[in-house]
């Protein structure tokens, strides 16, 4: 019995050492956890928001931004909202290959909507990295014809025609009496709300010192993820969200689906792996539905290696630890339109 106890204690000590070493290895290869303390997490969010110095996060701005995020009147048709393509009840994306907007128009470049969850930690926004922060990103879909099809002028008319919105903006941004709300403040409020869409995970707990946060199979998958070189692109707090070369070793087998080729240098924003099991289909054009197929394709085109079915399944098991705790979002009651609010234009 004494010998058995010694053996069990030795095995537990070995597992503990392995977990400790694995967490250190992950951090040494560029993976970063969300902070444990709420204070430090809030600081990271503000530090990750280029516009936070000018517009710090406040409760009033967050609540206002949430209303705007769900308000379809910001679109030309009065049907499409930010939540249409970045559904907060559905992984923060729309889970279709190419986003569909005004007049049921699919994205002309066959581009897949990335998740909005944890997007505050991306170094850039959009697949081609053309926006520096969330407020700048919010302006794009709102004024894109295949998406919300609106204009800054129309959005301003909608907001300024609704007294409750005018009052909320005045309080949130300290506007002078009778000072109209401009388009930039609308996108800023949406961006401030999106900063709060953060989903802590068991993986964060593991990197923060909880050796039992991941199962043995998840730890094995993480070890493979590190050994295969996946952190070359999938690193940082978001395990992605930065600009990287795409198709480094071989051509993506669905490169002909859509015409997206990245920025002017052919760089593409690396997909975020937080909640990745909730955001299929995968890749910029949503051409692969199975996560294990996506893992094998990435090994081939980015690392020049063959990842077996068993290895892909193991890495996918690790991804289960990246499913985060979703923030509670209570659907807002939107203020009523007035006779001066622009009418929907459906363009039938």
The answer to whether 86 is annotated as binding is yes
Mean pLDDT within 34-54: 97
Mean pLDDT within 83-110: 95
Is it true that the peptide bond before 281 is cis, omega within 30 degrees of 0? yes
The answer to whether 82 is annotated as binding is yes
Model pLDDT for residues 75-91, shown as the tens digit of each residue = 999 999 999 999 999 99
- Are 161 and 105 spatial neighbours (Cβ–Cβ below 8 Å)? no
* Residue 41 clears pLDDT 70, i.e. is over it: yes
The answer to whether the predicted template modeling score (pTM) of the entire model surpasses 0.75 is yes
Q: Supply the CATH classification number for the domain 40-195.
A: 1.10.760.10
- Which positions are catalytic? 147
* Residue 323 clears pLDDT 90, i.e. is over it: yes
CATH superfamily of 206-321: Cytochrome c-like domain (1.10.760.10)
Model pLDDT for residues 123-160, shown as the tens digit of each residue = 999 999 999 999 999 999 999 999 999 999 999 999 99
The answer to whether 133 is annotated as binding is no
The answer to whether 298 is annotated as binding is yes
Confidence tier at 20 by pLDDT (50, 70, 90): low
State percent of the chain over pLDDT 90.
93
Q: Is the fold of 40-195 the same as that of 206-321?
A: yes
- Dmax over CA atoms of the chain, in Å, equals 84
Listed by start position, the domains of the chain span: 40-195, 206-321
Mean pLDDT within 104-125: 96
Mean pLDDT within 271-275: 97
């Amino acid at each position: 019995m004494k010998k058995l106890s010694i053996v069990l204690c030795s095995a537990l000590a070995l597992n503990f050492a392995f977990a400790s070493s694995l967490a250190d290895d992950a951090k040494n290869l560029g993976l970063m956890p969300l902070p444990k303390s709420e204070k430090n997490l809030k600081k990271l969010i503000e530090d990750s928001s280029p516009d936070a110095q000018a517009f710090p996060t406040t409760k009033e701005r967050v609540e206002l931004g949430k209303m705007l995020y769900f308000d379809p009147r910001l679109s030309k048709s009065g049907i499409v909202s930010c939540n249409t393509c970045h559904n907060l009840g559905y992984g923060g994306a729309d889970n279709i290959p190419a986003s569909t907007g005004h007049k049921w128009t699919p994205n002309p470049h066959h581009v897949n909507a990335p998740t909005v969850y944890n997007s505050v930690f991306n170094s850039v926004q959009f697949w081609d990295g053309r926006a520096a922060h969330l407020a700048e990103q919010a302006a794009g879909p709102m004024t894109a014809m295949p998406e919300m099809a609106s204009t800054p002028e129309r959005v301003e008319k909608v907001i300024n025609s609704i007294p409750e919105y005018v009052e909320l903006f005045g309080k949130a941004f300290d506007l002078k009496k009778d000072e109209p709300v401009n388009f930039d403040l609308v996108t800023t409020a949406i961006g401030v709300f999106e900063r709060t869409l953060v989903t802590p995970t068991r993986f964060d707990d593991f990197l923060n010192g909880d050796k039992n946060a991941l199962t043995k199979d998840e730890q094995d998958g993480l070890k493979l993820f590190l050994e295969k070189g996946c952190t070359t692109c999938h690193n940082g707090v978001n395990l992605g969200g930065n600009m990287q070369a795409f198709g480094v070793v071989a051509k993506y087998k669905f490169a002909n689906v859509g015409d997206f080729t990245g920025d002017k240098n052919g760089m593409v924003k690396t997909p975020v792996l937080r909640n990745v099991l909730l955001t299929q289909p995968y890749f910029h054009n949503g051409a692969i539905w199975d996560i294990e197929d996506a893992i094998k394709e990435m090994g081939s085109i980015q690392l020049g290696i063959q990842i077996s079915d068993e290895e892909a399944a193991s890495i996918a098991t690790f991804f289960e630890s990246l499913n985060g705790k979703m923030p509670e979002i209570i659907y807002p009651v939107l203020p009523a339109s007035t006779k001066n609010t622009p009418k929907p234009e459906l363009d039938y």
